Structure 1
Amino acid sequence: MFFFEEYVHDIDENGNESLQVDLNNVLEKIIPNHNSAETYVYPGEEHYAVVESWPNAKDYLPDGDRKALWNGDAHLKATLVGSSEVFDVDQGKLDAGNTGSVYFADFDRTRPRQRKCKIIIIGD
């Protein structure tokens, strides 16, 4: 997902901007990380069974570990933040002001994966 926010210049020891750290902290207070099967109702037994039946189930459940599906928090955070943005381009340049930046966010921490983004340009 993408979102637009001010670039704040302050970076922590992990390379994260201060607003990113604040956003992560606030979201975790609202939607705690999915650290156990009891944290959220999702995923339920039926979802586990469906994923386990897929031909590429090992991609979603490395070593058959069901904890790899404990990403209910990521789904809820993505729903709250949104998954897309519309940006103005003026005379071939992103109209973001002096400090605006575009960020890609992925709240899913359960397993490594590749992500793709799609950019659609509409207009002249």
Structure 2
Amino acid sequence: MLKNFKLETDRSGLVDVTSFVEDALKESGVQDGLLLVSVPHSTAAVTVVSPWDVLGLEDVHDEICRLVPTRIDFKHQYDTPQDAAGHVKAALVGHSKSFFIDQGKLGLGHSQKIYFWEFDGPRSRSVHVKVIKS
């Protein structure tokens, strides 16, 4: 089963998509298998982070921006310096994550949530969830 959902991001940063992913899993009825979360965008990514301290989410975002700052000396400047930096950030973080499904539950730890990571917002975005029965 493939489920797609839309996001409207208002800025760059992390957006919790865990509930959308869990809803797709529940809708599939799959009890054991694999679940893939994928973003079809070159300036966005998907990651897993603990949400329990909001400042931790800010730290994660701040650090990727420190590692890959928006600047004008990128070799590729198709759109804006933010767009060029977004390509590099997304390539480093990754465009998909996979999870196991066991007894109908998503293989996440108690302090883990799935986040869509916007690097070039605001934008209209999509997230794909593929559920595969084993």
Deviation at 1:95, TM superposition (A): 2.0
Please give the TM-score of this superposition, normalised by the length of structure 1: 0.63
2:49·2:57 contact (CA, 8 Å) conserved in 1? no
Q: Does 1:78 align with 2:122?
A: no
Of 9, 33, 39 in structure 1, the residue corresponding to residue 73 of structure 2 is 39
Higher strand share: 2
Question: What's the counterpart of residue 5 of structure 2?
Answer: none
Deviation at 1:4, TM superposition (A): 1.5
Separation (CA, whole Å) in 2 of partners of 1:113 and 1:99: 28
Describe the SS at the equivalent of 1:105.
strand
Which is bigger in relative contact order (C-alpha 8 A, separation at least 6)?
2
Q: Identity of counterpart residues, as a percentage?
A: 28
Unaligned runs of 5+ in 2: 1-44
Please give the TM-score of this superposition, normalised by the length of structure 2: 0.59
2:46·2:114 contact (CA, 8 Å) conserved in 1? yes
Which structure 1 residue ranges, 4+ long, deviate > 4 Å from structure 2?
none
Count residues with an aligned counterpart: 89
Unaligned runs of 5+ in 1: 11-16, 48-67
TM-superposition CA deviations, 1:7-64 (whole Å, max 9, x none): 3x22xxxxxx222211122112211124xxx332221xxx5xxxxxxxxxxxxxxxxx
- The alignment's C-alpha RMSD in Å is 1.7
Larger radius of gyration: 1
Question: What's the counterpart of residue 120 of structure 1?
Answer: 130
